[in-house]
Structure 1
Amino acid sequence: MEEPEVLKKPIFSEKSLKEVTKGRYTFEVAKEANKKQIAKAVEKEFKVDVLSVKTIVLKGKRVRIRGTNREKTGEIIKKAVVQLKKDQKISVFEVAK
């Protein structure tokens, strides 16, 4: 998998913006991506040094289809929380503040 396919988009939530002050940045990533690929993609894209990567897989919510006895599940999302070296920043998150 190539680096541009690994990172989908940055996640701007209240919790993720609080983590920016600690040097942790949150991204939505491809489901097949592993931690080494994510670290390499972030380093190449933003020219920073990655210390650690934590990943979270969020299962889609189950929704009942009205008028039937069936259910469907939403999309599965994989998030990555990337810890950078001290005094390094990603400018995309600074604009969101």
Structure 2
Amino acid sequence: MDARDIIIRPVVTEKSMNQMADRKYTFIVNKNANKIQIKQAAEELFGVNVEKVYTMNYLGKLKRMGKNIGRTSSYKKAIIKLKPNSKGIEFFEGLQA
């Protein structure tokens, strides 16, 4: 898998912005990617040194439309913690308030 296929998009929420002070960045990643692949993809795409990767699997929520029941898409979220000597990820630098 290519690095751009592994890291899909960043998660921009109040909690994820607060975690940036601890050098933790949050992304939606490919459901089939493991921690080693996520670490290598982040190092390749952003040129940073990754210390640790935390992953969480989310099951889609049940939604109803009349009598029909369906689910939203399931996804995998990864929190990437950078080493203290690593530079930050430029994409997130302009988002801090």
- TM bin (shorter chain): over 0.9
- Residue 93 of structure 1 aligns with an amino acid whose one-letter code is F
Match of 1:2 in 2: 2
**1:53 aligned to 2:53?**
yes
For 2:4, what is the secondary structure of its paired residue?
helix
**SS in structure 2 of the partner of residue 12 of structure 1:** coil
Structure 1 partner of 2:75: 77
Count of residues in Structure 1 that have an aligned counterpart in Structure 2: 95
Output aligned runs, 1:1-97, within 5 Å: 1-66=1-66, 68=67, 70-87=68-85, 88-97=87-96
CA–CA distance in 1 between the matches of 2:95 and 2:75? 22
Provide the rounded CA distance (Å) in 1 between the counterparts of 2:33 and 2:55.
10
1:47 is aligned with what amino acid? G
3-state DSSP of counterpart to 1:54: strand
1:35 CA displacement:
0.4
| Alpha-carbon offset, residue 73 of structure 1 | 0.7
TM-aligned CA deviation for residue 57 of structure 1: 1.0
Structure 2 counterpart SS, 1:26: strand
RMSD over aligned Cα atoms: 1.0
Shift of residue 65, structure 1, vs aligned partner: 2.2
Aligned equivalents of 2:75, 2:17: Cα separation in 1: 19
Q: Distance in 2 between matches of 1:6 and 1:95?
A: 23
TM-score (norm. length: structure 2): 0.93
Runs (4+) off by over 3 Å = none
Structure 1 SS opposite 2:52: strand
SS of 1:96's equivalent in the other structure is coil
